[in-house]
Structure formats: structure tokens, C-alpha cells
Structure 1
């Protein structure tokens, strides 16, 4: 991802939320989401991103159609410094985000981003990749499960627009042969 991709990434993210979370989050909250406001926040943080986080975009015909972000795990029980992890190198990564333009869901863009994100996590030396998914988002849960992720038992709820939204944490062990091949979409990685 480059600074020039910010507006397109924000459009993918906002439209993705509005489609995926319909019925799972308050509709007024989803309707109030603004691509311009998201892009403004994303642009202000773009130059301050951690070098440990990679933002990846998927393109079709030169247009951004998907976005994923990968970095070190953030949860205290699995983050660097946790008892189960050898210090100082973190071995747990997190898929922080994965969104696809709603009209392209099911076309391989998500699989391409997952393959690129997994390869990036492995290149960073992560042995396990975690992610959080909204409990009621059955389509996303099936996608992640097909990609080899399993729930690890951790649950957390966040308030969104005055409503409690439960999330489940998933994990996947990474090995050199675990990265699925990327289908026809291209992806660019940047940190």
C-alpha cells in the first residue's frame, strides 16, 4: 500500500463494513460511516505506521479492490513478552484487517490477500497468525476456517454504536508449506 492508495483502501473498508456487518451492528452506525472521514484518519496515521506492520492491497485492472494488514499480535496473552513466547523476537502475528470490495467477494481477491498476508507473516518470522472476527459474521468465519484458522476460545465484545458486538479470536499455525497459492489477482506489499 502506498499513500496514493489511501482513498481506495478507505472505500473498500467502509463499503466492506456496511455490507458484512448489516444486521450485526446498528444500521445507523453503518450508514453514518464516511469514506472521506476514514481516509482522513488513515492518511494522518499513514506516515506514523510501525515498520512491523505491512499493509497489502489487491488490484484488478490497476484499481485497488482489497486490503489486508499484518503485524505483531496485540493481545497481552500472545503478544511479544508473553510467557509462552521466547523473548525478544515475537513469534505471533496478527491479521489486523482483510477487506474486499463487496461486489468482488467470492472471486479470489480475499484468497490472494490471505496468501500474501500469510507469506508476509512468515517472512517476519511469525509461527502463528491470529485474527479477530465478529461472531455473527458466518461468511467471514467460513472463509477463515477454509484458510486453516480455528477458534482458540478467546472472546471479546466491543461497543459499536451503543450495541455490544462479540468477536472470536482465531489462530493458525504457520509453516513454510502452509501458504496457499495466490490466484489470478495481484497484490503489492509495503510497510
Structure 2
């Protein structure tokens, strides 16, 4: 494998991050989401704000950007229990979302991204991470399970262009180790 790394994404990376997000979701979620939803994924402006805030790390292999992770303090509505109450660690819970282009998958990029994000989050006081995963997305659920993250029993159903999308929340320690 060529040199692989993880770096903070900058404004110069924005176009590639948006492309990876859109193309990967179109491929991975074509059966879960209607085309009109896939065609209107997050705007460039939303990604620009996340990059500007330093919440996005990019994975590279050689000269290519192959994936990214968005990681920051979890908003209360994301960490709340099903009954709306907040867990004791709500203030130190981070929301994590990782995405690697399928053609670059199974090369350790996702784990490297989450490991670096976890280290940065711990340094800023975070103690636990959460992620939302479509219930039917077995690959993503397996990825988080390999990190030691498990479903915490919380589910939500989103309106995805008139089609329900059921997501499960996974949670785990911010102690991701890289295999040598």
C-alpha cells in the first residue's frame, strides 16, 4: 500500500470531501434512499462550515483523498435517550461519522480516521462516541463493532423523501487502537 495518512481537512479538500460523500452514498444507499434524496445530499456550505470548524479529518493514500471522518461534540438531540432525557455523560459525548470510498475500503483507512478523531476528542475532554447507522447497513455496523462500539438500544426513523429510514445508534469508548 502507498503511504496512508490522516490530516485535518482544509478548504482545499472541500470539493473532494463533497464528491466522496455524494458518490459513496449513491452507491451504498441506492436501495435505502430514493434518488431525489441522494441527489440533494448536504450542501457544500454545510461541509465548508464543518471543515472551517476543524471537525473533519481526511484519509489519504498516496496522493488520493480516500475518506473522511466528521467528529465533534454531540448535540443534545443526538445523545438523548429515547424518552428525551440526557445521560450523565451527555456533555462529554462526541458524534462521529466516518466514510471511506468503497474502492479504498478494507485497507485500514476507516480505523485510522476514527483512531485519530478519538485521540483529538479525548484531548478536548470527550469520553464516549456515538454514531448513527442505517439499520440495513451491515458493513457500517460491522465496522463499528470491530471498533468495540455496540448498539445502545436507541433507534430513530427519519423521513427520507417519503420513505422511512430506520437508524440505530452505536456507542463506544474513544479508545480505538490501530493494529500494527
* 1:3 equivalenced with 2:11 (yes/no): yes
Structure 1 regions of 5+ residues with no counterpart?
184-191
Offset of residue 54 of structure 1: 2.0
Alignment partner of 1:131 is 2:131: yes
- Runs of 4+ with deviation above 6 angstroms: none
CA distance in 2: counterparts of 1:126 and 1:157, whole angstroms: 27
Kept after mapping to 2: 8 A contact 1:3/1:46: no
Deviation at 1:83, TM superposition (A): 5.9
What aligned pairs does 1:21-32 form with structure 2 within 5 A after superposition? 21-30=29-38, 32=39
| Aligned-residue RMSD, C-alpha | 2.5
Query: Unaligned regions of 5+ residues in structure 2, if any?
Result: 1-8
In the other structure, the counterpart of 2:109 is 109
Matches of 2:51 and 2:72, distance apart in 1: 16
Tell me whether 1:42 sits opposite 2:47 in the alignment.
yes
Q: 1:47 to 1:24 in 2, by over 3 A?
A: closer
* 2:119 alignment partner, SS class: helix
Q: Residues of 1 paired with 2:179 and 2:55: CA distance?
A: 18
The C-alpha deviation readout for 1:133-166, integer Å capped at 9, x for no partner, is 0000011000111111010011111111221100
Q: Write the distance in 2 (CA, Å) between the matches of 1:76 and 1:66.
A: 26
Q: TM-score, normalising length from structure 2? A: 0.81
On the 8 A contact 2:79/2:130 being kept in 1, the answer is no
Return closer, same or farther for 1:77/1:24 CA change in 2, 3 Å cut-off: closer
Task: Tell me the matched-pair count.
Answer: 168
Residues 53-109 of structure 1: per-residue CA shift (max 9 Å, x gap): 621001112221111011111234847x946148xxx211110x2111221111211
Q: Is the 8 A contact 2:17 2:67 kept in 1?
A: yes
Kindly indicate whether the alpha-carbon contact (under 8 Å) linking 1:15 and 1:102 is maintained by their aligned counterparts in 2.
no
* TM-score calculated relative to the size of structure 1: 0.77
Aligned residues of 2:10 and 2:51 also touching (Cα < 8 A): no
| Shift in CA distance, 117/182, structure 1 to aligned 2, threshold 3 Å | farther
Between the two structures, name the one with larger relative contact order (CA 8 Å, sep ≥ 6).
1
